[in-house]
Structure 1
């Protein structure tokens, strides 16, 4: 028996390469492609049946509770002595929680009441997303007009601080009390 095994038959001397089994390679490649397709189709079907931007109400409740807890911590940018990574850090829990709330509540047409319920009273209400354009913030006072009160056609901005007036999340709400758009204002310094 030579070193290549019993199926090896040299064509012209010992240094000739063994024959390639093309049939076995083709079957393996086809089988791999079929299995890969089945897995990808299954993953696509699973992701389509569960929308990414609308978490279950229990998840919104958990986000709301987390935001409330983190909001009560006085970070460096809100007059605290120390930099707190979970509150002040760009990848901290407070920023991540606010991003998750933005993904859910920042959808156009979301009622302002849903924002209040999940995030509490805004830190500021403004007629501009840039809080420095307004000399006097509009808080305290009603955010959403009460029944019978004249409604303004001017958009209102519900502002929730991440790091004080330095960086914050805002929801633009129309006169019909629904979100028009939502975004971050970042000082970028």
Structure 2
């Protein structure tokens, strides 16, 4: 059987555009929901749970507690290439201070390159024991990658 290169390229392009439309159509929480999640996160962030020197608090310390679930939803909304750093900061507040050891671990996840173009945003769930992080391109101020860090004891 014989295919013309132009027809083959057109067929491949159609498949790729079809796949891309599925990715683009992935559900994103409505802006109002993200704002409400951000408010909830900031309220819970102000509570000192067990990992921040306070008493154990089910809402902020427990796996699948209110803070954990809120952060999971925010991670889903923001852990996409191209999300603006300012959008995360407006919603979740400023990044927690990043200790040297945590920064070393984050930099260890970077692709190899000769210049440093990344900065990081970290949001503690249970102190620096478990946290959500975003790698931001310092030139464009857009998310490149994000993920959870879990101590997994």
Q: Mind listing any 5+ residue stretches in structure 2 that lack a counterpart? A: 1-21, 106-114
Larger radius of gyration: 1
- For normalisation by structure 2, the TM-score amounts to 0.72
Could you list the per-position Cα deviations for residues 137-174 of structure 1 after superposition, in whole angstroms to 9, with x for gaps in the alignment?
Answer: xxxxxxxxxxxxxxx74311101100111110000001
Whose strand proportion is higher, 1 or 2? 2
The 2-side partners of 1:105 and 1:94 are apart by 16
Name the structure 1 match of 2:48.
Answer: 74
Structure with higher RCO (Cα < 8 A, 6+ apart): 2
Runs of at least 4 residues off by over 2 Å: none
CA distance in 2, matches of 1:106, 1:132: 19
Are 1:180 and 2:144 matched, yes or no?
yes
Unpaired runs of 5+ residues, structure 1, are 1-47, 135-151
Q: 2:80 aligns with which of 101, 107, 127?
A: 107
Tell me the number of residue pairs that the alignment of Structure 1 and Structure 2 aligns. Answer: 120
Q: CA RMSD in A?
A: 2.1
Question: CA offset at residue 52 of structure 1?
Answer: 5.1
Q: Equivalent residue of 1:90, what SS?
A: coil
> Helix, strand or coil: the match of 2:37?
helix
